Amino acid sequence: MNAIKETHFNFPQQTAFYKGKVRDVYTIADQYLAMVVSDRISAFDVVLPKAIPYKGQVLNQLAAKQLQATEDILPNWVIETPDPSATIGKIAEPFKVEMVIRGYLSGHAWREYAAGKRSVCGEPLPEGLKENDRLPQPIITPTTKAAVGHDEDISKSEILQQGIVSEADYVQLEQYTQALFKRGTEIATAQGLILVDTKYEFGKIGDQIILIDEIHTPDSSRYFYQEGYEALQQAGKPQRQLSKEFVRKWLIENGFQGKEGQVVPEMNNEWVQSISERYIELYEHITGEPFVRHAIDDVIHRVESNVTKAIERLITSE
């Protein structure tokens, strides 16, 4: 299984390198970012030991389509997508929060609710809800953006009290988050899907707020199928979903939640392949287009060559 587990490129005018959980980010001439979306997969803020073929291509191409579909709401960081697994864009100063928005009681919010909590990040939740019920209205539940370790829930009031984001900027981030979620919901609905929850990351170039990173991908979002949703809820059965939650559930069932002393369970090739197919399935469902499996027999060289050529064009055109 040929997949991008890590990269060690040396691009023209490269000035810095950062390795995230999934992305390898190269700074070019202190002006641009070349972001390679690896095939690494993380859960509970831990990078799992095996990479997932085509996962990076799915995330990169889906994010590119979704960013293009929302650029009328606010500008984004993308300049060019020179390779199926890479994007080149503008450098922004990132806000140190991730704007999580939830339309349904699922995942982390459900786990908190099931433990007896009736608010998440200062947002109250009504009594009597079941897992995966639709919320009365979408709620924004921000998290801190940790460079290392776990992101932590944080409320709007705590963000403002700690001066993490100014009040004027935070109001704008809330408005953008609601508008983006509305658009993402419309896109999903057109393809027979429900956008359950997602997260957005923002940055600033000068005084302008822009959208950064990825949006509406299976790593940043959770989707249910519309067909059968109501019947499954009424029967108290799990929803059919397209997201990374099935990986988290498998890990939980095998005794792993990222806690100290826990060991990641063995990921055999069959399980790795099934994760790959689930990512491809989501791409095809949300775009309504067939997924083109680009050659991965020498995927590292392909990415390096395509990104290098794009950087050279960008620098030459200045």
Instruction: Specify the pairing of strand 86-90 against strand 119-120.
Output: unpaired
Domains in the chain, ordered, with CATH?
Answer: 14-92+270-316 (3.30.200.20), 94-246 (3.30.470.20)
3-state secondary structure of 120: strand
Contact 307, 82 (CB under 8 A): yes
Nearest Cα neighbor of 37 from 2, 94, 87, 92 is: 87
User: How confident is the model at residue 241, as a pLDDT?
Assistant: 83
Could you tell me which residues are beta bridge partners of residue 197?
A: 102, 222
Which pTM value belongs to this model? 0.88
Contact 77, 26 (CB under 8 A): no
Task: Fill in the DSSP letter of residue 145.
Answer: -
Inter-residue contact 138 to 102 (CB < 8 Å): yes
Provide the residue-wise pLDDT of the chain in tens; the chain has 318 residues. Answer: 589 999 999 999 999 999 998 999 999 999 999 999 999 999 888 899 999 999 999 999 999 999 999 999 999 999 999 999 999 999 999 999 999 999 999 999 999 999 999 999 999 999 999 999 999 999 999 999 865 556 789 999 999 999 999 999 999 999 999 999 999 999 999 999 999 999 999 999 999 999 999 999 888 899 999 999 999 999 999 999 877 878 988 999 999 998 989 999 999 999 999 999 988 988 998 899 999 999 888 999 999 999 999 999 999 987
Give pLDDT, residue 146.
65
Give the length of the chain. 318
Considering only the C-alpha atoms of the chain, give the largest distance between any 2 of them, rounded to a whole number of Å: 61
For position 278, what pLDDT does the model report? 87
Rounded Cα–Cα distance for residues 216 and 197 (Å)? 9
CA nearest neighbour of 136 among 99, 176, 105, 179:
105
Report yes or no: 171 and 208 within 8 Å, Cβ to Cβ. Answer: no
Predicted confidence at residue 39, as pLDDT, reads 96
- Residue 1 confidence (pLDDT): 54
Q: How many helices (H) and strands (E) does the chain have?
A: 8, 17
Distance of alpha carbon 155 from alpha carbon 170, whole angstroms: 12
Q: What is the pLDDT of residue 282?
A: 83
Nearest to 57 by CA among 307, 246, 283, 288: 283
Per the CB < 8 A criterion, the answer to whether 67 and 78 are in contact is: yes
Looking at residue 172, its pLDDT comes to: 98
pLDDT of residue 208: 97
In 3-state terms, what secondary structure has residue 101?
strand
Q: Which residues contact 89 (CB under 8 A, 6 or more apart)?
A: 32, 33, 35, 76, 77, 78, 79, 80, 212
